[in-house]
Amino acid sequence: MVHSMTAFARGQAHLDDVVLNWELRSVNHRFLEVQLRLPEALRGLEQGLRDTVRQHLKRGKVDCTLRVDRPESVGGIQLNRPLLLQILTVLEQIRRDAPELAAPNPMELLRWPGLLGLEPVLEGAALEEPVVDLFEAALTELLANRKREGAQLQDALSQRLDEIDRLLDLIKGHTATIATEVQARLLQRIAELGASLEPTRLEQEVALLAQRADVAEELDRLRIHIEEARSCLRAPGPHGRRLDFLTQELNREANTLGSKSIMGQVSQRAVDLKVVIEQIREQVQNVE
């Protein structure tokens, strides 16, 4: 099953005195990159949450943001008492070592970063379990969204692969008469120049030019890559890197086919082929 790397999920939980809000955003990335934004009191959960994401995701840039709200405290100034006690302990040690120093000014203490705030100090230990539970629920929703979008990507890719098959059938039909086309052009050119050519030499030149313009090898390789892409879509993931490699190979063969073509119909179908391959490449960038 194909999974997309693009998704969004949100989780909210109302506790006794706080509201927890998780937002998870996932976009395409070459590797797996997890960014967590947590309140300082819950920073100890970061590594465990990263490990949880890695257990479920293989690729993508995932931004996880936790917001802790306490509505009744909005507009109120809160004192960080644990931090204040730490500062006073350090100042007491300094006073014992240098008794000549003046006592600290309370207003100077209030300027200390983090001592005052509009939100109360979080009791991290009490919030750890609900924060982790809510994160796992939001991650489950994110996975479901990635899976749902991945199913749509798989359908789109399958339709593009079918379109390539159709174009290859058209090209094969056009190239079935390539020897006749080469001979007609060569005879026309000889007539324009007023020259003559022995039948044996004419056959040799036709055979040589037809061989140079033959695209059967490219058509075979394109079909092989198409079948490999279909097998990849049916196999367990992740699929993105393999599909990206196959898309590069498809594009390379399509370029070779276009450069060898001497027929207008084949050249046009080669352009159409590259357009479809580019559409596949753009879609593959979002596949995990």
pLDDT at 145: 96
pLDDT at 164: 95
pLDDT at 171: 87
pTM given for the model: 0.70
The architecture in CATH of the region 149-284 reads: Up-down Bundle (1.20)
Domain coordinates in residue numbering, the chain = 7-74+125-146, 78-117, 149-284
pLDDT at 184: 60
CATH 1.10.10 at 7-74+125-146, yes or no: no
Given a contact cutoff of 8 angstroms between Cβ atoms, the answer to whether 86 and 122 are in contact is no
- Whether the per-residue pLDDT at 80 is higher than 70: the answer is yes
Dihedral of CA atoms 68, 128, 142, 20 in degrees, nearest 10, equals -20
- Whether the per-residue pLDDT at 165 is higher than 70: the answer is yes
- Whether the per-residue pLDDT at 284 is higher than 90: the answer is yes
Q: d(Cα 243, Cα 284) in Å, to the nearest integer?
A: 7
pLDDT at 74: 46
List alpha helices for 176-260, DSSP H.
178-193, 199-213, 216-234, 240-260
Please write the tens of the pLDDT for every residue from 12-53: 999 877 889 999 999 999 899 999 999 888 889 999 999 999
pLDDT at 282: 94
Q: d(Cα 137, Cα 268) in Å, to the nearest integer?
A: 51
